[in-house]
Amino acid sequence: MEKRDYISDLSVKGIQPSVQRVKIYEYLWKNRIHPTADDIYERLHPEIPTLSRTTVYNTVKLFLDHGLLQPIVIEEKEIRYDIDTAPHGHFKCDSCGKVFDFRTGISKSGVFPELAGFQIRERHLYFKGLCGSCAKQ
C-alpha cells in the first residue's frame, strides 16, 4: 500500500487537519470497505475515546463537500462512504453485506452517446446479488 501524507491531502483540499479528521481520513484510505459513519465511529472510538458520533458525521460531511468522498446509497436507509471518487460501480452481496468496487470504463466526461449534451452531476451504478464466496456456499 502506498504511503500517504494524510495531513497534506486534507490541507490541499482546504480542510484544517485536526487529529480526528486525520484519523478518519486515514481509516477511510486504509480500509476500503465502504463504511457507514457509525462503522467509522465504532472502529475509531476505542483508539480516540474523545471522538463523538457528531464529529464523525460532521467530518464525513466536510469530506463530501470537499470532494474527498462519495456517498453510496445502495440501500434506502443506509449511506456508506467511498474514498475512491473515480467513476466506478458497486456490487452489494445480499448474503454477507460486503460492498465490492468494479471498474466500468465510464469516464468523468460524457459517458453514453444517448446522453450527449447532458450535464451529468452524479453517477451511480449498483448491482445486488451474491458475491463469489457466498454463491459457492
- pLDDT for 81 equals 97
What are 37-61's pLDDT values in tens digits? 999 999 999 999 999 999 999 999 9
Q: Count CA within 13 A, CB hemisphere, residue 95.
A: 9
pLDDT digits (tens, 9 = 90+) for 68-82: 999 999 988 999 999
- Strand segments, DSSP code E, in the chain are 70-75, 78-82, 89-93, 99-102, 126-129
Q: Which residue has the cell 440501500?
A: 75
Cα–Cα distance measured from residue 82 to residue 87, given in angstroms and rounded to the nearest whole number: 11
pLDDT at site 1: 47
CB 57 within 8 A of CB 93: no
> For the segment 21-34, what is each residue's pLDDT rounded down to a tens digit?
999 999 999 999 99
Burial class (CB in 10 A: 0-12, 13-18, 19+), 87: middle
Q: What is the pLDDT, as a whole number, of residue 114?
A: 82
pLDDT value of residue 84: 93
pTM: 0.86
Q: Which domains does the chain have, with CATH numbers?
A: 6-82 (1.10.10.10), 89-136 (3.30.1490)
Q: For residue 113, name the pLDDT band (cuts at 50, 70, 90).
A: confident
Residue 18 has pLDDT above 80, yes or no: yes
